[in-house]
Amino acid sequence: MTKQYFDRREFLKTTAAGAFVAGAGAALPSLAFAQGARIKVGLMLPYTGTFAPLGVAIENGFRLALTESGGKFGGREIEFSKVDDESEPSKATDNVNRLVNRDKVDVVIGTVHSGVAAGMIRVTREAGVLHMIPNAGLSQATGVLCAPNIIRTSFSNWQPGYGMGVALSKRKNVKNVVTIAWRYAAGEESVKGFKDGYLKGGGAIAKELWLPFPNVEFQALLTEIASGKPDAVYAFFAGGGAAKFLKDYAQAGLNKSIPLVGPGFLTDGVLEAVGGAAQGVETSLHYADDLNFKRDKEFRLAYAKTYKLQPDVYAVQGYDTGLLLAAGLKAVNGDVSRKKELIAAMEKITVNSPRGNWHLSKAHNPVQDMYLRKVVGVENKYGGVAVKALDDDPSVMAQCKMG
Amino acid sequence: MKPERLLIAALLAVAAVLIVLPLFAEKFYVQLFAKNLILAILAMSLDLLIGYAGLVSFGHAAFYGVAGYALALFAPQNHAANFWTSFPLAVGASAVLALAIGFFVLRTHGIYFIMVTLAFAQMLFSLFFDTKIAGGSDGIYIDVRPVARIGDWQPFDLDNFVHVYYLALFFLALVYVLLRTVLRSPFGRVLAGIRVNERRMRSLGYATFRYKLVCFVIAGAIAGVAGYLAAVQFGVVNPEMLGWHLSASVMMMVILGGMGTLLGPALGAAIWMLLELGFQGLPQAGGTDLGKHWQLFMGGFIVLATLFLPRGIAGIAGMLRRPRETPHE
Amino acid sequence: MRPAAQCRRFCFVDFHTFLIQLLNGVQYGLLLFLVSSGLTLVFGIMGVINIAHGSFYMIGAYLAWSLAGALGSFWIALPVGIVLTAAFGFLLEMLLVRKLYARDHLYQVLLTYGLMLVFEETRSILWGDDVRGVQIPQLLSASIALTDTLSYPVYRLWISAVCLLVAALMYWVMQKTRVGMMIRAGVFNREMAQSLGIDMHLLSRMVFAAGITLAGLAGMIAAPTSAVFPGMGNQVLILCFVVIVIGGMGSVKGAMVASLLIGLVDTFGKVVHLEIGGLKLLPELSSMAVYILMAAILLWRPEGIFGRKA
């Protein structure tokens, strides 16, 4: 390399480096956020991808609760900050960091995917910011990683699985079951819940089939299931994957001879898309489309009027998040900085929800009834209570060391 | 002598800023810069392969991710690993993997080499993504960061984001010095010869396969250093760290900064991150959130850069001053 | 017939299931052939590696969804989609791809990678990021009962038929027509073919357009059975690379053999139980099976089964 060549490149390099430093310098000063009268709520939800409809429903439900509360919680208005988490666990910490450290929100609400939530709670635990989980059922959030500032208003993955397992365990003619699910935290915990509930009745799990998330190539495994001829199949999928599974299951003719069961996510929000393919599928969830509670009827009417859509369990969870936050903020007169009292208030109340009444467990997970539902038409019709006032997986709760 | 003085002065200025940064910058930005420094280390290691040995490896991120996973798997669940044991272990894992993969892939040349490096990286990706070895697609978390203690002496605390920043800066400097030494040595000269004409080197009696393999391992080990630091920084490791998107991004950093120079890729990493942030911060326009689609602009930038800036940013100077061929090739 | 619960080691439950899984594997392999044949041809003729190839598979699927929706019929959407994709390929080659011939592989890889990002995001802007579905056309929506529990969708059989038809067509074109002869000459030695008066520019353009149309067609016909989602191009691209590494660059025959091999290995890998020394290998590590196959082939023949030695 001649010296001239050397210095031309270096000259440009240094200029660029200088520009870089200057630019970075401009970005450095912390943006002072005026405290103002508004409470900052950071929504980290999937707005794209297979879980997008769920993210939208959750936000809709939350906003409905806000509207019904006169647009204010605890007398203060809400300012929203939104981040699309794309259901990508690898971007989880970056995304939540933006909300917590850069935008400095007062409350974080999110998310749907358990793997993403895993990243979120690690950051929010450390930061101490109030974090409300409107869906992700990962056991750690109210288990080994529980914390006073982490509150879940939805379910733990184990609960619906347990409900379904208990329901099946009572049926004498169901002696062996095949489970199939995505191999990720939510899928594994759901299957464990099912096993915990089902195996008590003396039946057996013939096989456990797994697929990587969010793979939807079911063909080989459906063939496997058919050849094994189990008495029932327990499947955990959600969103677009659930729709495809239901369709493929029917296409392979399995729906005629092998009953399909699952947690409610298998059939919630997808029945319009799958048409008749899901008829007769039984699921267990903390919600059904035709509960006879007055509160639920009011909610469904208001939701349909506002959004021109039928609500589902995700909308209810978003709504309940709003209800719980409202109650907590009311108790502290809107002062978010009084976190301990805020949380204490939330721990005490019984939420009068469209799903029925529920309250937070010691680990901050809902203690609620699990209903049995059956698909008729495009609805998940209520078929009785599978388990009443269900708490969480005992082995998980034992790991929560909170106050 | 003046241009050289200018250069040294500029580099010193940059170094000075980097050194005092944590004193006046916010946590978010210190962490951002630290991330940048770590990527710079990764980019420099790839430059060793692409720019100096002429080995276009499309799966380099695999060695970065493996080190992170090595730490995550080695670290006990509820208490801290020891930095002094886990760090060599992680870097060693990357080096051993590079040895194993290099053994296979260095049998191929040209486009085959590019494709098989990609395919092997994908294999590792699928190992971590699809199986239960480590958390699958959710990734795994290092809940308790390693502790750098020997007896009673603890030189730095990895829970402190400022310490992590300085550690990254230290390693960047160390890697730079190391690479400079290696490249100026006879070994480095042989590598340069292999890049220009491997057949000729072989006819001169050099066991080129071995040289390439050693180079591959060194690059893999350095990528492992970056991977370990990245895992420590945010306490999370996921399969994307082995993914080909990261590999492609690092390749772009090397090209952008100017391959075959040592600090070029470090600059390229900085530019890349700036671009990413810049594009992500784009406002709404005509109903579409441009910032959300930042990859469109990144992609467009890559296309334009490869068409018009083959020598990287440093090449702009060459094109502006005089349109004469630089002797790099 | 042993119930599934008793199946521990390498075993099949019964012959019927084995045959059906064989069918699954072949169908998967044939679709993979359709996508990868285009990539290997493009590389063989033009020496250009196209990272954006997988995007055309994805574009094909989204085209099927949007055209079927707009035009009301899957059958009309197919030819329209094919024509659109071919035209786009023609244009793309003229504007950008031809600039890659003189460049070395690194730049080809990066430029086409950049293109891939552009395509992905444009698709995101135009058609959104949601998971979509395409209805299986009424004509093919039945299922054939194979056993007392399992039926096989007719549509999947149709997909395999289309792939076989295309493969036969390609064979005929390559072996029995003048164009095919020119292509084969170009693959063998581009400069020599050029000097013999073959217009390599036009030929390259046609081959490129054909290559990505094949990928787009694969996406279109696969759309009703696999979901239409943003990441589908990425997944298929990596597999295409594995096909080419195993089959040999530029060899369509190699692409067919490799695709079928991969389809079978992947399908059986998911359902077979294999334990060696207490270590559970299958189906736990099924997704690695394909790559291990590739590594094995690399050890044996680094240039691929039907590849030419570099």
C304 Cβ contact partners less than 8 Å away, ≥ 6 residues apart? C244, C245, C246, C247, C248, C249, C251, C254, C258, C297
What gap in Å lies between CA C52 and CA C122, rounded to an integer?
A: 13
Beta bridge partners of A263: A284
- At the second CATH level, the architecture of A158-285 is 3-Layer(aba) Sandwich (3.40)
Q: B27-36, B217-226, B235-244, C185-194: which range is least confident on average?
A: C185-194
- What pLDDT, on a 0 to 100 scale, did the predictor assign at position A232? 95
C206 Cβ contact partners less than 8 Å away, ≥ 6 residues apart? C179
**Domain residue ranges in chain C:** 8-133+152-300
Give the residue from A177, A178, A189, A237 showing the smallest Cα distance to A211: A237
What gap in Å lies between CA C44 and CA C36, rounded to an integer?
A: 12
Mean of pLDDT over chain A: 86
Letter string b/e over residues C189-227, b meaning 16 or more CB atoms within 10 A of that residue's CB? ebeebeeeebebeebbbbbbbbbbbbbbbbbbbbbbbbb
Shortest Cα distance from A269 to chain C (angstroms)? 13
Give the domain A39-155+290-364 fold.
Rossmann fold (3.40.50)
What value does the mean pLDDT take over residues A301-325? 93
Contact A17 B14 (CB under 8 A): yes
User: For C249-273, what is each residue's pLDDT tens digit?
Assistant: 888 889 999 999 999 998 888 888 7
Q: A238-247, B86-95, B317-326, C160-169: which range is least confident on average?
A: B317-326
Mean of pLDDT over chain C: 84
Q: A23-37, A92-106, A252-266, C107-121: which range is least confident on average?
A: A23-37
Contact C116 B299 (CB under 8 A): yes
Predicted confidence band at C10 (pLDDT cuts at 50, 70, 90)? very low
Number of helices (H) and strands (E) in chain B: give both, helices first.
13, 4
Contact C125 B306 (CB under 8 A): no
What six digits make up the tokens of A13? 């390099």
CB-based contact (8 Å) between B11 and chain A?
yes
Contact B13 A90 (CB under 8 A): no
Shortest Cα distance from A148 to chain C (angstroms)? 35
Q: Which of C100, C109, C239 best tests the B interface by mutation, with the highest count of B CBs <10 A?
A: C109
- What pLDDT, on a 0 to 100 scale, did the predictor assign at position B229? 95
Shortest Cα distance from A9 to chain B (angstroms)? 5
pTM of the predicted protein model: 0.82
End-to-end CA, chain A: 68
CB-based contact (8 Å) between C286 and chain A?
no
Which residue spans of chain A are classified as CATH 3.40.50.2300?
39-155+290-364, 158-285
**Residue C170 burial by Cβ neighbours in a 10 Å radius (0-12, 13-18, 19+):** buried
Amino acid at A260: L
End-to-end CA, chain B: 26
End-to-end CA, chain C: 50
Chain B residues in contact with A93 (beta carbon < 8 A): 234-236
Chain C residues in contact with B122 (beta carbon < 8 A): 238, 242, 291
User: For B113-154, what is each residue's pLDDT tens digit?
Assistant: 888 898 889 889 988 887 777 877 778 888 788 888 777 777
Pick from B27, B239, B270: CB nearest A20: B270
CA nearest to A49 within chain C: C130
H helix or E strand, kind and range, residue A359:
strand A356-360
Counting as contact any 3 or more CB pairs under 8 A, the partners of B are A, C
C-alpha distances (whole Å) from B327 to each of B48, B81, B238, C100 are 19, 49, 42, 22
Chain C residues in contact with A247 (beta carbon < 8 A): 133
Count of other CB atoms within 10 angstroms of residue C10 = 12
- At the second CATH level, the architecture of C8-133+152-300 is Orthogonal Bundle (1.10)
Give the 3-state DSSP-derived string for chain C, with helices as H, strands as E and coil as C.
CCCHHHCCCCCCCCHHHHHHHHHHHHHHHHHHHHHHHHHHHHHHHHCCCCCCHHHHHHHHHHHHHHHHHHHCCHHHHHHHHHHHHHHHHHHHHHHCHHHHCCCCHHHHHHHHHHHHHHHHHHHHHHHCCECECCCCCHHHCCEEECCCCCEEEHHHHHHHHHHHHHHHHHHHHHHHCHHHHHHHHHHHCHHHHHHCCCCHHHHHHHHHHHHHHHHHHHHHHHCCCCCECCCHHHHHHHHHHHHHHHHCCCCHHHHHHHHHHHHHHHHHHHHCCEEECCEEEECCCHHHHHHHHHHHHHHHCCCCCCCCCC
What value does the mean pLDDT take over residues C123-144? 81
Give the 3-state DSSP-derived string for A74-119, with helices as H, strands as E and coil as C.
CCEEEEEEEEECCCCHHHHHHHHHHHHHHCCCCEEECCCCHHHHHH
Chain C residues in contact with A87 (beta carbon < 8 A): none
Chain C residues in contact with B112 (beta carbon < 8 A): 245, 249, 302-303, 310
Predicted confidence band at A32 (pLDDT cuts at 50, 70, 90)? very low
Interface of C to B at Cβ within 8 Å reads 43, 47, 49, 96, 99, 103, 105-107, 109-111, 113-122, 124-125, 238, 241-242, 244-245, 249, 284-288, 291-292, 294-295, 298-299, 302-303, 310
Give the residue from A31, A56, A45 showing the smallest Cα distance to A108: A45
User: For C88-124, what is each residue's pLDDT tens digit?
Assistant: 988 888 888 777 777 778 888 888 999 999 998 898 8
What gap in Å lies between CA B66 and CA B51, rounded to an integer?
A: 23
Pairs of residues, one from chain A and one from chain B, whose beta carbons lie less than 8 Å apart: 122
Q: A37-46, A187-196, A283-292, B150-159: which range is least confident on average?
A: B150-159
CA nearest to A25 within chain B: B25
Amino acid at C207: V
In this predicted structure, the answer to whether residue A58 has a pLDDT above a threshold of 90 is yes
What gap in Å lies between CA C253 and CA C171, rounded to an integer?
A: 9
In this predicted structure, the answer to whether residue B39 has a pLDDT above a threshold of 90 is yes
Contact A227 C147 (CB under 8 A): yes
Q: Which of B105, B122, B198, B252 best tests the C interface by mutation, with the highest count of C CBs <10 A?
A: B122
Shortest Cα distance from C33 to chain A (angstroms)? 17
